């Protein structure tokens, strides 16, 4: 029976009027097409119900599509690490890894050399370019700031542009600007060039370890990454040895006129470019990381490189008949990659380039800002603690302490002359480490002599003659100079403080700063750096042999705790010999913690974020180095208890925090 209150589909509806026949339609709508009728809510901006249904249906379909893609990507990402580990085991460890090891080792060596360059050239550069103490500190500060920024930027870019490409850029920037700094005559230009060089080489450490890790199978990573750390030590040895052999030989330089001079310390900078140049040449012939290519859906390129690794290793082992059997490798595709591809298909070449690189930078900064997990925080703390206490804390304090001891010994031998009167005397011998107070020099001649570390206070020079005088750290304070001639000397205005000049004549003065070619160079500092770099060799060997046997965490924690105990031996150091001895012991023990941190840093993070994470950690390390340099340098000559206590506390805290990190010895690279 038909129900007039139900439609044909069985759904009830309500009405105030009885049903009408079709013929009862209003004359106003007669003849109108139902599809052409205007939806009355359109004037009010209300969507049509059909549009709402269609939008909801499309949203549900898009959500299901994204869910399927996410599930597929998650499955691929779960399968890729195991598959890649199996492929690397099939490729073996052989000639290819060793070639890459030496090429990347040279890049790491270049970073080690760059860390020593500024410290070695400053004693000569400050005289050659009139660098004040404040400017001296600015040079060291800006170089570390540049390396910190370089680590952050290049670490992130290598996850987007590729390990090999970024390493080529890094080494090229370092080479170009370091080479130009050899010829910079002004301090401002020299400072700018060293900053640019530091920005380049600062990115080498994150890239090198990330790059090499992705060519190693799980049971080889700890050992061979630790062997790779030795190249940083070789960089310190190379810099110390070449500085010792080149810088003291001032006569090795040359000059073009009076404005353009190349002294031996500039030649030393030039020689320090050789490791970076060799690394750049070598890396040109190396392939990109196949793991990076797979993460960026470049399957064919990755397959060809893996086959190259396989064939190179097995041919070197005498088994050329072995065939690379892998035919298919998972290649997860990220949404960021799709966005770049979509944008690069449209617009002009410049627009495509802009979109691609701006998107890349956005992704890098997004990774930097999301670096906030507990694990990341623990690693940051470990890097900060060991940076403050080790190479950049006590590492600065050791040579400065030795310099201060030398200064104290030198000051203890100073000779003081009070109210002496010298008349009609010819000074034909050098004056060294003396203080003259309230003296009178009448009709005296100073000719062809060197005046080194001499101070004249409240003295009178009358009718005197200075000719061909070279001075170092020599000043005249509150002196009266009458009828005196200075001919061809470097005694110029800044050497005279609050002095009264009466009829004084300066003929052919050597204005500006000049190197003293006869001054002996302090080889003790070169020796200290050389022995300190050499002392880490035993620690490197031990950490490499036991990194995979006892684990990264025990290496890091044990090394830092033992190093903290070694710091107390410094309280017993009252001579240069003892300081050098304890420095070598401390370096030899603490280097194992550094190696463990480098290994665990690349193993904890997924391939798509590995370079970014390592760059952040290395940037934090450089920032801690800047702070440590200021803190420890402030206590030179005041007390050694506070620096030692700070180092002890930092090492103990870092060692305890390290024990909370996850062990990665048997972890497949994610």
DSSP 397-458: HHHHHHHHHHHHHHHHT-EEEES-EEES-EE-S-EEEEEEES-EEES-EEEEEEEEEEEEES
Phi (first) and psi of residue 81, to 5 degrees:
-60, -45
Instruction: Give me the mean pLDDT over the 443-461 stretch.
Output: 90
Looking at residue 392, what is its pLDDT?
57
Whether residue 44 is predicted with pLDDT greater than 90 in this model: the reply is no
Instruction: Give me the mean pLDDT over the 237-246 stretch.
Output: 85
**What confidence tens digit (pLDDT) does each residue in 514-533 have?**
555 444 455 666 777 777 77
Residue 65 class from Cβ within 10 Å (0-12 exposed, 13-18 middle, 19+ buried)? Answer: exposed
Looking at residue 174, what is its pLDDT?
92
What's the CATH architecture for 93-285? Up-down Bundle (1.20)
Instruction: Give me the mean pLDDT over the 617-629 stretch.
Output: 77
Integer angstrom CA distances of residue 389 from 118, 217, 386, 435, 651: 21, 33, 5, 39, 7
Instruction: Give me the mean pLDDT over the 45-60 stretch.
Output: 69
Helices (H), 491-640: 523-550, 552-567, 576-603, 610-634
The number of residues making up the chain comes to: 670
Higher pLDDT, 120 or 25: 120
**What confidence tens digit (pLDDT) does each residue in 77-107 have?**
457 777 777 888 888 888 898 999 999 999 9
Distance CA 159, CA 607 (A): 8
Looking at residue 5, what is its pLDDT?
45
Instruction: Give me the mean pLDDT over the 34-44 stretch.
Output: 50
Q: Let me know: does 436 contact 562? Beta carbons within 8 Å.
A: no
Tell me how far apart the terminal alpha carbons of the chain are, to the nearest angstrom.
69
Looking at residue 374, what is its pLDDT?
44
Distance CA 154, CA 618 (A): 11
Question: Please, how many CA atoms are within 13 Å of residue 409, restricted to the half-sphere of its CB?
Answer: 9
Q: Let me know: does 86 contact 218? Beta carbons within 8 Å.
A: no
* pLDDT band for position 336 (cuts 50, 70, 90): very low
Instruction: Give me the mean pLDDT over the 480-498 stretch.
Output: 86
581 closest CA partner among 593, 569, 594: 569
Looking at residue 249, what is its pLDDT?
67
Whether residue 122 is predicted with pLDDT greater than 60 in this model: the reply is yes
Radius of gyration of the chain (CA): 36
Distance CA 215, CA 625 (A): 31
Highest mean pLDDT: which range of 267-271, 353-357, 548-552, 645-649: 267-271
Q: How many CB atoms lie within 10 A of CB 572?
A: 8
Q: Let me know: does 509 contact 489? Beta carbons within 8 Å.
A: yes
Looking at residue 253, what is its pLDDT?
58
Looking at residue 456, what is its pLDDT?
93
* pLDDT band for position 141 (cuts 50, 70, 90): confident
Return the domain boundaries, the chain: 93-285, 287-317, 415-507
Distance CA 475, CA 437 (A): 12
**What confidence tens digit (pLDDT) does each residue in 254-263 have?**
556 555 667 7
Give domain 415-507's CATH superfamily: E3 ubiquitin-protein ligase SopA (2.160.20.80)
């Amino acid at each position: 029976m038909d129900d007039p209150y139900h439609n044909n589909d069985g759904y009830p509806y309500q009405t105030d009027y009885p049903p009408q026949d079709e013929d009862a339609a209003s004359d106003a709508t007669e003849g109108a097409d139902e599809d052409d009728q205007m939806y009355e809510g359109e004037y009010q901006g209300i969507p049509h119900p059909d549009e709402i249904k269609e939008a909801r249906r499309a949203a549900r379909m898009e959500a299901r599509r994204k869910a399927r893609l996410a599930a597929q990507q998650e499955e691929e990402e779960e399968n890729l690490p195991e598959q890649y580990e199996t492929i690397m085991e099939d490729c073996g460890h052989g000639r290819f890894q060793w070639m890459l090891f030496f090429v990347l080792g040279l890049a790491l060596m270049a970073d080690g050399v760059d860390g020593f360059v500024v410290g070695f050239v400053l004693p000569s550069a400050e005289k050659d370019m009139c660098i004040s103490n404040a400017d001296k500190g600015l040079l060291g500060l800006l170089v570390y700031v540049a390396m910190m920024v370089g680590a952050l930027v290049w670490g992130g870019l290598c996850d987007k542009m590729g390990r090999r490409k970024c390493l080529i850029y890094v080494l090229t920037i370092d080479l170009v600007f370091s080479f130009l700094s050899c010829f910079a005559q002004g301090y401002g230009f020299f400072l700018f060039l060293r900053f640019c060089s530091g920005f380049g080489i600062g990115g080498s450490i994150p890239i090198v370890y990330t790059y090499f890790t992705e060519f190693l199978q799980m049971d080889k990573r700890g050992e061979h990454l630790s062997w790779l750390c030795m190249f940083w030590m070789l960089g310190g040895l190379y810099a110390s040895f070449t500085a010792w052999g080149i810088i003291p030989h001032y006569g090795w330089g040359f000059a073009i006129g009076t404005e353009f001079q190349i002294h031996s310390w500039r030649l030393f900078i030039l020689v320090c470019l050789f490791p970076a140049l060799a690394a750049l040449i070598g890396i040109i012939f190396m392939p990109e990381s196949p793991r990076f290519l797979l993460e960026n859906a470049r399957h064919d390129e990755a397959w060809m490189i893996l086959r190259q690794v396989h064939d190179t290793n097995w041919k070197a082992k005498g088994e050329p008949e072995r065939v690379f059997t892998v035919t298919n490798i998972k290649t997860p595709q990220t949404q960021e990659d799709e966005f770049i591809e979509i944008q690069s298909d449209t617009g002009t070449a410049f627009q495509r380039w802009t979109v691609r690189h701006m998107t890349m930078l956005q992704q890098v900064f997004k990774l930097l800002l999301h670096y906030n997990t507990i694990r990341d925080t623990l690693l940051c703390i470990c890097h900060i603690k060991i940076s403050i206490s080790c190479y950049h804390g006590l590492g600065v304090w050791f040579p400065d302490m030795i310099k201060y001891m030398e200064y104290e010994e030198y000051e203890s031998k100073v000779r003081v002359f009070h109210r002496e009167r010298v008349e009609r005397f010819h000074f034909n011998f050098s004056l060294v480490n003396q203080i003259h107070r309230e003296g009178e020099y009448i009709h005296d001649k100073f000719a062809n002599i060197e005046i080194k570390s001499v101070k004249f206070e409240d003295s009178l020079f009358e009718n005197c003659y200075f000719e061909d005088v070279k001075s170092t750290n020599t000043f005249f304070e509150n002196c009266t100079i009458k009828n005196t001639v200075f001919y061809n000397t470097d005694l110029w205005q800044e050497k005279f403080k609050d002095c009264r000049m009466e009829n004084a004549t300066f003929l052919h003065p050597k204005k500006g700063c000049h190197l003293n070619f006869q001054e002996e160079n302090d080889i003790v500092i070169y020796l200290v750096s050389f022995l300190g770099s050499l002392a880490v060799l035993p620690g490197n060997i031990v950490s490499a042999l036991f990194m995979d046997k006892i684990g990264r965490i025990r290496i890091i924690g044990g090394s830092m705790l033992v190093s903290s105990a070694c710091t107390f031996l410094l309280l017993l150091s009252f001579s240069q010999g003892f300081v050098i001895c304890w420095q070598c012991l401390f370096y030899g023990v603490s280097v194992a913690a550094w190696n463990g941190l480098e290994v665990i840093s690349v193993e904890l993070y997924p391939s798509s974020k590995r370079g970014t994470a390592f760059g952040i950690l290395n940037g934090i390390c450089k920032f801690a180095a800047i702070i440590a340099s200021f803190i420890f340098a402030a206590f030179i000559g005041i007390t050694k208890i506070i620096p030692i206590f700070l180092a002890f506390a930092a090492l103990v805290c870092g060692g305890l925090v390290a024990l909370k990190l996850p062990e990665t010895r048997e972890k497949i690279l994610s």
